Amino acid sequence: MAELPHYDLVIIGGGCAGFSLASKLSEYGEKAPKVLILEQRKNYTNDRTWCFWDIDHPAYQSLASHAWSTFEVANRERVHHFDCNQHPYLMLESQHFYEAAIKQISNHPKIQLMLGQEVLSAPINTDQGWHISTAHTVFTARQVIDTRPPKKINPQDSVLWQCFVGYEIQTQSDCFSPEKMVLMDFDHTFEHGLAFIYILPTSEKKALIEYTVFSENIIPKQQLITRLKKSITQKIDRQPYELLRVEHGTLPMGYTLTQQYKASTYLYAGLFAGAARPSSGYAFQRIQSWANKCAQSIVSEQKLYASPKEQWVQSSMDGLFLNVIKNNPTRAASLFEDLFNRCELNTVVKFMSDQATLGDYFRIIKSLPPGPFIKALPGFVIQKIFHRLGWAK
Nearest to 139 by CA among 32, 14, 8: 8
Nearest to 282 by CA among 36, 53, 11: 53
> How far apart (Å, rounded) are the C-alpha atoms in residues 65 and 324?
35
Please list the residues that pair with 133 across neighbouring strands: 138
> How far apart (Å, rounded) are the C-alpha atoms in residues 198 and 332?
16
Give the pairing of strands 138-146 and 129-133: antiparallel
Nearest to 205 by CA among 239, 249, 157: 239
Per-residue pLDDT tens digits for 338-391? 999 999 999 999 999 989 898 998 999 899 888 877 777 766 555 554 455 454
pLDDT at 258 over 60: yes
Q: Indicate the burial class of 52 (C-beta count within 10 angstroms; 0-12, 13-18, 19 or more).
A: buried
Per-residue pLDDT tens digits for 286-338? 999 999 999 999 999 999 999 887 777 888 888 888 988 998 888 999 999 99
The pLDDT-based confidence of 228 (bands split at 50, 70, 90) is: very high
Domain locations in the chain as residue ranges: 6-48+92-150+258-301, 155-253, 312-389
Q: Are 183 and 198 in contact (CB under 8 A)?
A: yes
Per-residue pLDDT tens digits for 85-131? 999 999 999 999 999 999 999 999 999 999 999 999 999 999 889 99
Higher pLDDT, 96 or 276: 96
Q: Are 198 and 182 in contact (CB under 8 A)?
A: yes
> How far apart (Å, rounded) are the C-alpha atoms in residues 229 and 221?
12
Hey, which CATH number is domain 6-48+92-150+258-301, 3.30.365.10, 3.50.50.60, 3.20.20.80, 3.60.21.10? Answer: 3.50.50.60
pTM of the predicted structure, to 2 decimals? 0.92
pLDDT of residue 154: 87
Q: At what angle do helices 358-367 and 332-342 cross, to 10 degrees?
A: 120
Per-residue pLDDT tens digits for 2-60? 578 899 999 999 999 999 999 999 999 999 999 999 999 999 999 999 999 999 999 99
CATH classification code of 155-253? 3.30.70
The three-point CA angle 217-145-125 to 5° equals 110
